[in-house]
Amino acid sequence: MTRWLDDEEQRIWRNFLATTQLVNERLDRQLQRDAGMPHTYYMILVALSEAPGRSMRMTDLAHRAQSSQSRLSHAVARLEERGWVRRAPCADDRRGNIAVLTDDGFAALAAAAPGHVEEVRQSLFDALTPAQLHTLDEICTAVRSKTVGGSS
């Protein structure tokens, strides 16, 4: 039996979709304008910059970037063309590859970060009170833990 959304749930759902789309579009537009990269590339560079040795297995990077293997592989190929990332064979698994953030990639990330953080603040944090931010964190944590845990 389908559990249809009632009118209030439908309103909340549509508001959530519109809000997340607005924030994502603003972040992507800012990064394209100021750094010449889409938000997806930025998130890949961030993940690599935070990893030990600035490198990650491609499968782990796809999971961290919430991307399919094929989409990640395409994005990493574009980042390789820019000289921001290089691929290397995995030492303990010949079938696997590792993505490595280059010094040029780290410099591109460092140059893009201030504008990106300012856009994050303007698009989300500045619109909310500290109590609302705390509630938003609780909501996001609850949704992610249920989704990651595989519950339905």
- Asked if the structure places residue 12 within a domain, the reply is no
Q: Comparing C-alpha atoms, which of 47, 76, 42 is closest to residue 60?
A: 47
The number of folded domains in the chain is 1
> Which residue(s) pair with 97 in the sheet?
89
- Helix (H) / strand (E) containing 94: strand 93-101
CATH of the domain at 108: 1.10.10.10
Residue 4 included in any domain: no
Residue 88 included in any domain: yes
For residue 103, being part of any structural domain is answered with yes
Tens digit of each residue's pLDDT (9 = 90 or more) over 68-81: 999 999 999 999 99
Within-domain flag for 5: no
Which residues form the domain of 47?
A: 17-148
What are the tens digits of pLDDT across the range 135-149?
A: 999 999 999 898 765
Query: Containing H/E element for 100?
Result: strand 93-101
Residue 9 placed within a domain = no
The answer to whether residue 3 is domain-embedded is no
Give the N- to C-terminal CA distance of the chain in Å, as an integer.
Answer: 15
DSSP state of 52: G
Q: Is the pTM of this model over 0.75?
A: yes
CA distance 100 to 4: 46
DSSP for residue 96: E
